[in-house]
Amino acid sequence: VKETVSENDLYGRIFINRVFHITADKMFEILFTNSHFMQRFLNSRSIVDAVSTPWNRDSSGNQLRTLTYTVTINNPLCGKFTTATEKQILHKQSQKGQSYQVDAEVLTHDVPYHDYFYTVNRYCISRTSSHKCRLRVSAEVKYKKQPWGLVKSVIEKNTWGGIQENFKQLESDLLMEEYAINQSIEDSGKLVALRRRRRTLHRGLAESLPKRSSQHSSGDMGVESQGSLIGRKRDAVSRTTTIIVVMSVFLLLLVLLNITLFLKLSKIEHAAQSLYHVQLQEESSLNVSPEMVSKEEIPQYDKEQVKHVKGVLRDSIEMLEQLKTSLSMLQRSFDHLNRTQSSKTES
């Protein structure tokens, strides 16, 4: 189908030029009536207090509609809010179901230099097929009186930025609306297709049953294999967690054994020093007055001290044996953990 709106009908900067899976009539209804889409779009743009008049035909054959609303502004130089008046003109050359051309003249009343300029947005909707249309949107900044250079740059910078952001979101929301519309159409089409399939279902039942059974069996095997794989992964994780806990307990025991062994060795060193001092005292006493000391008076080694040293040595040897056993068990735990990790990686 030939499009009835050409590129020459646009002016200024083009912001939207896209084919939508929406009919031309539906697109016009979405954009230029009090549709739920426009209400959502205005709310998303923080546009409140929107009031519109119905479409009325003027003496020239065009149709007119006026909107008034309040726009929230994020620019601190322009204030927080501004009221706006939008005059929409549906040109008489528009053809229902084929093409629509709408000009929207927007005047803002509370921004700096608002009496210098206004914007004109042109919407061109053209039918491309029975379920598609092309939407073209262009915009232009027009001046009521010519400002000087700095003022004009400020006006255009703020105005073009706002226009671009507005139409970017409009295009995005239209794509979402397109998806919602086509999804509902697909759902209704699926119902019709299901009714048709019911009529021919019993004809190929004998052929379809083996195929379906094989498909279900393969599907069940896939589900079972996937379930077993998940189960193996969970078992591996639980085993790894258990091994880590056991290793932590072993490490804690090793720390306690090391502390105990250190205390035992300290006692051995203290006992050895005591024996050494006793031996020195004996030698000094023998050297000083050997003729005055009888054989029975010679001090002997402290039997209790020797017995104590032997006990400390025995305990230390047992502690070392326990430490050796704990280290061996810890090494086996590390080896088992490494084997588990390697088998988990290979699977």
Whether domain 7-184 has CATH 3.30.450.20: the reply is no
pLDDT at residue 192 tops 70: no
Query: Which has more confidence, 40 or 263?
Result: 40
The SS3 assignment for 54 reads coil
CA distance 105 to 217: 66
State mean pLDDT over 114-135: 96
What average pLDDT does the chain have? 78
Which whole-number Å values give the CA distances from 133 to 100, 195, 222, 260, 321, in the listed order?
11, 30, 45, 87, 88
DSSP 223-283: HHHHHHHHHHHHHHHHHHHHHHHHHHHHHHHHHHHHHHHHHHHHHHHHHHHHHHHHHHHHH
Which whole-number Å values give the CA distances from 291 to 142, 279, 283, 295, in the listed order?
133, 19, 14, 10
- pLDDT band with cut points at 50, 70 and 90 for residue 191: low
122 and 138 Cβ atoms separated by less than 8 Å:
yes
Percent of the chain with pLDDT over 90: 41
CA distance 136 to 217: 53
The dihedral over CA atoms of 156, 159, 164, 167, expressed in degrees to the nearest 10, equals -140
Tracing tokens 């393969």 back to the chain, one arrives at 218
Pairing of strands 56-57, 63-72: antiparallel
pLDDT tens-digit series, residues 255-289: 777 787 777 777 776 766 766 666 666 666 655 54
Task: Measure the CA angle with vertex 16, ends 12 and 19; round to 5°.
Answer: 135
Residue 22 backbone dihedrals phi, psi, to 5 degrees? -140, 140
pLDDT at residue 214 tops 60: no
For the entire predicted model, the pTM comes to 0.54
pLDDT tens-digit series, residues 308-342: 777 777 877 887 787 777 777 777 777 776 776 66
Joined together, the tokens standing for residue 220 give: 């069940």
Which whole-number Å values give the CA distances from 6 to 50, 84, 166, in the listed order?
32, 30, 24
Joined together, the tokens standing for residue 12 give: 């200024």
pLDDT tens-digit series, residues 162-186: 999 999 999 999 999 999 988 876 6
Tracing tokens 């027009």 back to the chain, one arrives at 142
CA distance 53 to 50: 10
CA distance 345 to 159: 59
Please choose, from the candidates 121, 126, 347, the residue with its C-alpha nearest in 3D space to the C-alpha of residue 236. Answer: 347
124 and 5 Cβ atoms separated by less than 8 Å:
yes
12 and 120 Cβ atoms separated by less than 8 Å:
yes
The dihedral over CA atoms of 28, 30, 35, 40, expressed in degrees to the nearest 10, equals -150
CA distance 29 to 37: 10
CA distance 94 to 96: 7
- pLDDT band with cut points at 50, 70 and 90 for residue 293: very low
232 and 266 Cβ atoms separated by less than 8 Å:
no
